[in-house]
Chains A and B, each alone.
Chain A
Amino acid sequence: MIKVYQSLTVGHRLRRWVFFALVTLSTLAALALLTSVFMTDGISPLEFIMLILYAILFAWICNSFWTATIGCVVCLIRRDHHAISTTLLDNPKGDLPADAKTAVVMPIYNEDPARVFAGLQAIYQSLLETGQHEQFHLFVLSDTRDPDIWVEEEMCWYEFCREFQAEGRVFYRNRPENTSRKSGNIADFCQHWGGRYRYMILLDADSIMAGGTLVEMVRLMERNPKVALIQVPPVPVNKESLFARILQFASSMYGRMYTAGLNFWQLSESNYWGHNAIIRVKAFADHCGLPKLPGREPFGGEILSHDFVEAALLQRAGWEVWLAYDLGGSYEEIPPTLIDYAKRDRRWCQGNLQHGRLVMAHGWGLVSRAHLLMGVMSYLASPLWFLFLVVTGIEAFVQSSTKPVYFFGERLFPVWPVSYAVEMTTVLVVTLAMLFLPKLLALLLLLRDAELRRSYGGLAMASLSVFLESVFSMLLAPVLMLFQTKFVLSILFRRTIGWPAQQRGDHLTGFKEAVLAHGGQTSLGILVGVVAYQHVPAFFWWFTPVLMGLLLAIPLSMFSSSMVLGRGARRLGLFLTPEETHCPKVLDLLKHDLDVATGSADSAAGYDYFTRAIRDPRVNALHLALLPSRIPSKRRRHYLEGLVIQLLEDGIASLAVADKREILSDPDTLLRLHVLAWSHPHLGIFSSGKTPN
């Protein structure tokens, strides 16, 4: 195995020392303060547990705090000599070299085809404007299993090629078996077509990137031959619900600081976030084939969250991975409601916890280990906070039920208990400052830049938005804490949580859905509130911020999903982001393409897409043209024969989704059904294939 670690400069090393020293010293200082309070009458086992939990959690908060603070300084200075973008400063912006072929790759799985292709069209149009589009090919790598979505994707692809005369520039394939999910999908691309391209730019189904940014990414890679991957942080955009708009605002407002801070200490050992990144294909193919981990799921088997591991593998092989935080033109969409956000968390949680096994694996660099550990902590922090609150509650109960003793032995004078209110308040204030100070620092950045200030709706509205966002985050924190705690526990106990697929489009959370998702949390909040109020009233009042979030979880979830409230807030100038104030061209193009796609939704046929693939000669021919040829085994032929008979006798409604996919996967069966559909319309095969209007 190759082990060529990057040669870090003194400046690089110094930055890391400064960052980790700040985190460590702050944690030690806070820990010393808390220990001094506990030390008065000896540290009880409960207090010892509290100290350990506090140390871990405070270090976690400090990490974010110092990242944001350093990032703020970098943004204020407006200069970072070590940023990768600086390597382009003296580079003339000519044409890209002819051999710098780049594949823009979008792996998809049962996504809304209209949105996927509208996004790709916007990116393609934006690329056309750069005049450098000759160097780019777009690939839609479908792992879609839903037969209707599969057929619709094919139609969208064909229309895209025709409308933009993009033949030979935009490609589509549907993988027969979705082995190893997304990472397997990308590996399949590399194995089949990787040799044609020097770079690939990975997109998510909801990613949007400006053409200019894509070109700049290639230029950066050309300029830095030791770099295997450059991540451009995506900014959340386009959603209109109140929940999403608050998150978009927070991400836009504080995100710049955080990413600048991350780049400050990570430098050439940055992380990969799975999309909106450019990758050197050969290096990726040589070093990022993912193995299966020994043992069973959830910690064994396939590596679910592949991005962090791929970055670590590249770094292990001596390649650099950078975060181009100042490039811009990189966007994504976020879940529109709290419940959808939690569903996404559930998916990510298992993958991140799996990294726990990899942190100490042989051969990683220290920063790679830190990335993996931070991934684990982003979900483990919730159960730790939960445990910390439980232990604190028990400790408060124990303290309140202990009667103070003023006279010891034969001493005449009482020994008054020493008050540590000042120390405890200091601990609390420091913790809160660590949490909320970055928000004020973000406002400080606005003071410096008049244009930026205007793009957030002015200082007054931006400040009000920050305040309201802080209140919202405070109420949301205990709800997310309980969600994530539940996810972590369910993964540890190998329990599955049966939740339907996440919806990406804006939609309202209904009362029933909210009660089902948050009923348990609210009940727990009431129970804890009553018990605390009866037995430890002093603790109850300290605990109210947490209880408030839990009690309001149902209405909070419902109201925050409202698009009316989201748009209303926008009209008032609240939670504005620069992308809303001055919509970038590529997002305008996306909106236009989406409107066109929605307006021209071909529902005239009145049939679902599976039926159209059988009946409509054009759709049928397109599907056959894109279907890889496979010679079915004898057993499979019999199985398909059975499905055809089932379809003819019992209609489409009798077929399961997997059966439909089987039919669509076999060219002979599809042709046979097509001819039958036209020669025997009276059979009524497709009577139940109509799309309900």
Chain B
Amino acid sequence: MSVRPDLSVQADIPLDFSTGISIALRPETGISWGEIAARVMDYWQAVGVSNEDQLTALTRQIMQKLDVMAPAPTKADLTLLAIEEVRRMLDEWLAGLLGLDRQTQSQELAMARVALLSGTVSDWPAVLLGESNPGLIDELRKNMPPAAPETAELAMAAQQIELFTRRWVSRGRRYLRLFRVAMGRLLRFLGMRR
């Protein structure tokens, strides 16, 4: 069940935007800040934030960022931006925590997200909100199995299998060629051909 803390600060700012993203959506009109906040909360819950206070604090952070980001009125889809902002916030935090590069180590970062969402990493939202937990990095790394080891390549060239038919056809051709040469020489020797 989704927990709905009081977000009246944001919820009473009614703003309606149409979706104008590159995909031809059938936009629902009448999206309010309250609805956006509810979606953001749903997403935070989906990624494993269950504590009511943490949920409110994290959602508020996103909404504040969104308020700064979105010049009103605009055609940008605010809900879409909000969800992307949650993802960005998580990724930036994880990248900083684990020393990963967001551009070149996107797979490791995704695996870190998996570890975070696996339900075994203790109270990570508190760390995201500023508390310290020295054991968190180890906990995360423990839940980040590598999909494959470092590559150690071996060459594996296709072998040659000389089929019986091919072998005899090529032999036959060779004998025919030899026969022709021999016949030519014989004819030349006999003076029947120049």
Contact = CB atoms under 8 A, between A and B. Distances in A.
A289 B164 contact: no
Contacts of A618: 47, 113-114, 117-118
Given A171-B146, A289-B157, A617-B113, 5 more contacts: A166-B145, A171-B148, A172-B147, A361-B167, A629-B107
A158 B39 contact: no
Contacts of A190: 154, 156
Most chain A beta-carbon contacts within 10 A, residue among B80, B163, B164, B166: B163
Contact of B111 (A137, A285, A625, A667): A625
B154 A195 contact: yes
B79 A679 contact: yes
B77 interface: yes
Interface of A: 1, 137, 157-158, 161-162, 165-168, 170-173, 187, 190-196, 281-282, 285-294, 309, 313, 357-363, 616-618, 621-622, 624-627, 629, 641, 644-645, 648-649, 667, 671, 675-676, 678-683
B18 interface: no
A294 B163 contact: yes
A678 B149 contact: no
Most chain A beta-carbon contacts within 10 A, residue among B118, B157, B159: B159
A358 B165 CA distance: 10
Interface stretch (B24-32, B52-60, B127-135): B24-32
A167 to B, nearest CB: 4
B6 interface: no
Contacts of B157: 289
A679 B113 CA distance: 19
B39 A679 contact: yes
B102 to A, nearest CB: 13
Interface residues of B, number: 54
Contact of B107 (A137, A291, A624, A676): A624
Contact of B158 (A137, A291, A629, A681): A291
A621 B113 contact: yes
B173 to A, nearest CB: 15
A358 B25 contact: no
B121 to A, nearest CB: 12
A625 B83 contact: no
B160 interface: yes
9 contacts: A157-B147, A171-B146, A171-B149, A173-B148, A195-B154, A360-B163, A361-B161, A622-B110, A679-B82
Contact of B145 (A170, A192, A645, A683): A170
A281 B145 CA distance: 25
A675 B88 CA distance: 11
A172 B145 CA distance: 10
B192 interface: no
A313 to B, nearest CB: 6
B151 A162 contact: no
B23 A196 contact: no
Contact of B77 (A173, A309, A621, A679): A679
A465 B132 CA distance: 69
Contacts of B83: 675, 678-679
B146 A195 contact: no
A562 to B, nearest CB: 42
Given A168-B149, A281-B154, A361 B82 contact: no
B9 interface: no
Query: Is chain A's binding surface mostly helix, strand, loop or mixed?
Result: helix
B144 interface: yes
A27 to B, nearest CB: 24
Contacts of B143: 162
A625 B163 contact: no
Given A167-B144, A291-B158, A362 B149 contact: no
B110 A195 contact: no
Contacts of B144: 167
A358 B161 CA distance: 8
Contacts of B84: 675
Contacts of B77: 679
B145 A167 contact: yes
A675 B162 contact: no
A678 B162 contact: no
Contacts of A170: 145
B15 to A, nearest CB: 15
B161 A285 contact: no
Given A167-B145, A193-B151, A678-B83, A361 B156 contact: no
B113 A285 contact: no
Contacts of B146: 167-168, 171
Contacts of B117: 617-618, 621
Given A618-B114, A679-B83, A193 B149 contact: yes
Given A196-B152, A617-B46, A161 B145 contact: yes
Interface in B89-145: 106-108, 110-111, 113-114, 117-118, 120, 142-145
Interface in B1-57: 19, 23-26, 28, 39, 42-43, 46-47
B158 A680 contact: no
A645 B152 contact: no
B68 interface: no
B54 to A, nearest CB: 16
A285 B164 contact: no
Contacts of B152: 192-196
Contacts of B113: 617-618, 621, 625
A171 B149 CA distance: 8
